[in-house]
Chains A and B, each alone.
Chain A
Amino acid sequence: MRPYLFFLISWLIPGSGHLLHKKYTKAVVFFSGILLLVVLGIIMEGKFFLPYAETSNNYGIVQRQFHPLLILGFLGDIGLGLFNIIVNFLGFAKGNIESVTYHYGTTYLVSAGLLNYMIALNAFDIAKKEGRNDL
């Protein structure tokens, strides 16, 4: 069961799993790389996906419609772990569709989340190979 903890920790804070494996260079590269993608995504006025789209009908009643593509984008974004929570808490990454860089910003954010899944899986893989049960 313990390698799963490495996955969880690495998912929450990018690079932390590798830090626990004493792979310091990788930990720094992963943390700074993901942070850079998130910061650039925010500056470029990208947005975090919501799993639904809000539409209003003729009576002005707002309805939430879930869509598979939005759900996939949402799953990509929650790959950022704590970064996602912090950015949402601070009220960033709401997106500005009028911005020239809106789509690139959104791509930066979702790619950062997907890369963090890969980083967390790598930390899990290393823990499993080394048979680590000390966490």
Chain B
Amino acid sequence: MIFRSHFISMLVFSGIVSTIIAFIRYDDNAMIKKEGIKLFLYMSVGIIAGSWIINFL
């Protein structure tokens, strides 16, 4: 079994999904890179923020 850490599972998942979506949306290499990084940050930071808020419930 791999990825016992949920955090690493989430980072790998975000990385693969954001790469695929960036390639779907754009043809230009620079835009793909920009969109990929943006989506990866949105997902990762969003999940960390959401988890932190849930911690108080």
Contacts and interface: CB of A to CB of B under 8 A. Distances in A.
Contacts, number: 50
Interface majority SS on B: helix, strand, loop or mixed? Answer: helix
A29 B17 contact: no
A37 B16 contact: yes
B9 A44 contact: yes
Interface residues of A, number: 23
B14 to A, nearest CB: 11
A118 B1 contact: no
B23 to A, nearest CB: 5
B16 A33 contact: yes
21 contacts: A25-B23, A29-B20, A29-B23, A30-B20, A40-B2, A43-B2, A44-B1, A44-B2, A44-B9, A99-B1, A100-B1, A101-B1, A101-B2, A101-B3, A101-B9, A104-B9, A104-B13, A107-B13, A111-B13, A115-B21, A118-B24
Interface of B: 1-4, 6, 9-10, 12-13, 16-17, 19-21, 23-24
Interface of A: 25-26, 29-30, 33-34, 36-37, 40, 43-45, 99-101, 104, 107-108, 111, 115, 118-119, 122
